Structure 1
Amino acid sequence: MAARAEAQGVAVDDIVWGVPYLPIDPKDVGRSYEAVIRVNSQSGKGGISYLLKSERNLDLPRRLQIEFSRAVQEHTDARGIEVNAEDIWRIFSDEYLPAEPGSGLEPWGRLRLVSTRASSSEDGPDTLEVELEDAGQLRTVTGTGNGPVDAFLDVLRQVGHDVLVLDYAEHALSAGSDAAAAAYVECSVGDDVLWGVGIDPSITTASLKAIISAVNRYERAQVEGRAADPATVGR
């Protein structure tokens, strides 16, 4: 560095060090990826999504990654702290996964899926009988449509929500015939575009739970005075 400074006619302290980016495996320095990744209000969606995938096997679609990273940033901004993988799971669960009865957690949202019974015929639409908990009251509503999801949207129209499914993704959470599935559904609800998430052993039920998740998030946003900004969900 002294020779370089002399050649440039400047002091050694004025030389700018050009250090290349050197990727390393955290295991080489006795650390884990989880210990290296620190999430705060300035963090992007990559680290957040990695922690959910490595810890919970949740492979979020890109636009959902963007939407959820905003929720994490709001959480860290409000508290001025970093969050770890367990904190991120709690934020994700609170945002997208209504508490099930007996979980000991406070439920949120107007709607909860209790049970479904589907039937179809070769020359007619599919029929879906749905038992819903609607604002604490059990209701049985029957909808028709081209498949169970379309019939479920008909059920939601009957209880006051006009929902349009814009995008959909799903995957198994583990190997085996009894593995649970995760469904991610992007919906237009009212004037908002937002995602819902459902987890269930049945991929069809997971999809319906994901739609309910989006509807409940929409209603909660109205109560809290916040709405999804389409510009922030990757469109």
Structure 2
Amino acid sequence: MQTGKITKYTPFQQIDLPDRQWPSRTITHAPIWASVDLRDGNQALATPMNVDEKLEMFELLVGIGFKEIEVGFPSASDTEFNFIRRLVDENRIPEDVTLQVLVQAREHLIRRTFESLQGVSKAIVHLYNSTSPVQRRITFNKSKEEIKAIAIEGTRLVKSLIQTIPDTKIRFQYSPESFSDTEVDYALEVCEAVMAEWQPTERDKIILNLPATVEVATPNVHADQIEWFCRHLKERNKAYISLHTHNDRGTGVAATELGLLAGADRVEGTLFGNGERTGNLDIVTVALNLYTQGVDPLLDFSQLEHIRSVYERITRMTVHDRHPYAGDLVFTAFSGSHQDAIKKGMDLRSVTDTDGIRWEVPYLAIDPEDIGRDYEAIIRINSQSGKGGVAYILERDFGLELPKAMHPDVGLTINSRADQGSRELSPQEVHEVFMQKYVNLSAPLELLSIEREDFAKTGEVKVEAEICIEGETMLVAGTGNGPISAFVNALQIKGWKDFKLLDYRQHSIGGGSKTKAAAYIQIKNDDGTVSFGCGINANIELAGLHALVSAFNRAHPKPSK
């Protein structure tokens, strides 16, 4: 790489548009969507789809709601040609879906393309030729006039061949390939020449597709190109302006969104951005971005995991773990502060009638349920996790509603275990550590059995408990206003009470005959430290007593007899 003054690369020329309007606009409705998975996406695969795989992908795209689907480059290979014929012969094309076919502006390829469309009720013929200075000079060695003539002659041939398939409604799309790297005034000149040849009307518009075949500038420059083109195009009312962004700079989505603000009507792209080099526009991301802004995308991604699984199987591509909306980790929080905030947001929604209420959960731009995902992987636990995440896992997966004061202590314990192994802990492992460190602890003090006696006159309770402490079994007795306070009194009589009972909570786990009680006790020791314990038992009183013993054991690993 060069350093200092870079001479190998130069900035892309800015567009002269001082009164640009797109920065102050808002996207208020979905564009016309066109999937190019079966053509642009397919040609970018190391192992292209066979006909059966293309059929399955076509059905998937139809199910999502695409009404315009570029099914291939029928003049390029027999597989492409035969796929279209199978769609026709097996009557697989829904009435509201229009097939799109791509063809270079070359006579024999155009004629072969029309052969493939026999029997199709409606189709878009997508004609293209390269217009950029680099392509004109290096690839074709032709002048601007010669390049424009290719586009006009190709358009004329397409128009003449419509009569060969009179039962097919043909719409026309033209792309000045590498529009992103073409002088905007020249791109306009070529497109207007094509329009003059085609003679579109307001009712039967031409599609002018302006592809960012290679991203060469920042998204704002792309938006300026689109707005400049829309504002200068004669008979703008007779054309749909279509976008087809690639992702060479990693800003394909942004360029598309700004292009829509700049006046475009239509978007071409693929599922998860599959395409040449760094990929095409990811339609999933743009559509769901609209959805999170309150705009109906008119595409159904409510079963996104299913869509992803079909896509990965057919294309043999893998959706990245951090891919927007679809990645395995996009609804996962490792950071403790994130986990805590997510838990609070989810807790608030769980106790509120949220029907029609705005989605507001920290760190989650979209409700995972809306796209067929669940909360199972929202929070995962490693050494970076916090108190809220651990508490969320224990409550969500195991029904344990830890008191808030207990969260930091449990979080530290779980994180220490994760840190020791330098890895993430599964929810089951989190539960196992909690049970091992806090629940029904039996050393050094173990509660073997207990009997209670109630005194109606005084309201006092007397307990007599059989315990084992450091291997020695004995009986202890005490009184109080309940079994827990009575047992505390028994410990005091033995000289073992050097703590104050701060808090007691309990709740049920499960339902029916298998219901258990979970109890939590917080004690403050004479040295100022705080200890927590949990007890789980079918009997609520025993659960509370086990919680007290567990807290005692955590505070007194070796108590004096």
Q: TM tier, shorter chain?
A: 0.7 to 0.9
Residues 22 and 116 of structure 1: is their aligned pair in 2 closer, same or farther, counting only changes over 3 Å?
Answer: closer
Residue 217 of structure 1 aligns to which amino acid in structure 2? Answer: R
- Give the letter aligned to residue 2 of structure 1: N
Amino acid at match of 1:23: A
- 189, 209, 213: which one aligns with 2:546: 209
Asked whether 1:172 is paired with 2:525, we answer: no
Aligned to 2:472: 137
Shift of 1:176: 2.9
TM-score norm. by structure 1 comes to 0.77
Aligned to 2:221: 3
Task: Using the TM superposition, give the Cα deviation of residue 67 of structure 1 relative to its aligned residue in structure 2, in angstroms.
Answer: 1.2
Letter in 1 for 2:398: R
Give the Cα separation in 1 of the matches to 2:522 and 2:486: 17
* SS of 2:534 mapped into structure 1: strand
TM-aligned CA deviation for residue 178 of structure 1: 5.4
Percent of counterpart pairs with the same letter? 35
**For residue 89 of structure 1, what is the aligned residue in structure 2?**
431
Where 1:53 maps in the other structure, the secondary structure is helix
Question: Which residue is equivalent to 1:37?
Answer: 379
Q: Distance in 2 between matches of 1:122 and 1:176?
A: 32
Larger radius of gyration: 2
User: 1: distance between equivalents of 2:385 and 2:489?
Assistant: 40
SS in 1 for 2:512: coil
Give the one of 197, 203, 210 matched to 2:534. Answer: 197
1:111, distance to aligned residue in structure 2 (A): 0.9
Equivalent residues of 1:186, 1:194 under 8 A apart: yes
- C-alpha distance after superposition, 1:168-212 (max 9, x if no partner): 111010223652100011112342211110011111111111010
Q: Is the 8 A contact 2:440 2:547 kept in 1?
A: no
**Structure 1 residue 48 and structure 2 residue 390: aligned?**
yes
Name 2:416's counterpart in structure 1: 74
CA distance in 1: counterparts of 2:399 and 2:556, whole angstroms: 28
**Counterpart contact for 1:109–1:219, Cα < 8 Å:** no
Match 2:452 to one of 118, 122, 142: 118
Q: Report the secondary structure of 1:130's partner residue.
A: strand
Cα distance between partner residues in 2 of 1:109 and 1:5? 70
Give, in whole Å, the separation in 2 of the partners of 1:98 and 1:202: 13
- Give SS of 1:93's match: helix
Distance 1:22 1:74, change over 3 A: closer
- C-alpha distance in 2 between matches for 1:118 and 1:151: 9
Q: Are the equivalent residues in 2 in contact too, given 1:179–1:201 (CA < 8 A)?
A: yes
Q: Is the CA contact 1:166–1:186 (under 8 Å) kept in the aligned structure 2?
A: yes
> What is the TM-score with the length of structure 2 in the denominator?
0.34
Q: Any unmatched runs of 5+ in structure 2? A: 1-218, 225-248, 255-288, 293-362
Partner of 1:23, secondary structure, is coil
Q: Does 1:148 align with 2:483?
A: yes
CA contact (8 A) 2:440 2:535 kept: no
Asked if the contact 1:26/1:36 (under 8 Å) is kept, the reply is: no
1:49–1:60 CA contact under 8 A, matched in 2 = yes
Once the two structures are superposed, what CA deviation does each residue of 1:57-108 show, in whole Å capped at 9, x if it has no partner? 1011111112100111111222211111011011101111246xxxxxxxx5
Three-state SS of the structure 1 residue aligned to 2:437 is helix
Partner of 1:158: 493
**Counterpart of 2:425 in 1: which secondary structure?**
coil
**Paired residues of 1:126 and 1:145 also in contact (CA < 8 A):** yes
Q: Distance in 2 between matches of 1:159 and 1:208?
A: 17
Cα contact 1:72–1:91 (8 A) shared by 2: yes
| Cα separation, partners in 2 of 1:177 and 1:160, compared to 1, 3 Å | farther
Number of residue-to-residue matches in the alignment: 208
- SS of residue in 2 equivalent to 1:123: coil
- Structure 1 residues without counterparts, runs of 5 or longer: 7-12, 100-107, 224-235
CA distance in 1, matches of 2:381, 2:538: 31
Q: CA deviation at 1:217?
A: 0.6
Q: What amino acid is aligned across from residue 468 of structure 2 in structure 1?
A: E
State whether residues 440 and 534 of structure 2, in contact with CA within 8 Å, keep that contact through their aligned partners in structure 1: no
Once superposed, what is the RMSD of the aligned Cα atoms?
A: 3.0
User: Which stretch of the first structure deviates more once superposed, 28-37 or 148-157?
Assistant: 28-37
Mapped partners of 1:190, 1:215: distance in 2: 12
The one-letter code matched in structure 1 to 2:375 is Y
Give, in whole Å, the separation in 1 of the partners of 2:502 and 2:366.
40
User: 2:556 aligns to what SS in structure 1?
Assistant: helix
Question: d(CA) in 2 for partners of 1:85 and 1:92?
Answer: 11
Amino acid corresponding to residue 40 of structure 1 in structure 2: N
Q: Which moved more, 1:74-83 or 1:202-211?
A: 74-83
- TM-superposed CA distance for 1:22, in Å, is 5.0
Q: Distance in 2 between matches of 1:4 and 1:119?
A: 83
SS at match of 1:186: strand
The one-letter amino acid paired with 1:88 is V
> Post-superposition shift, 1:140?
1.0
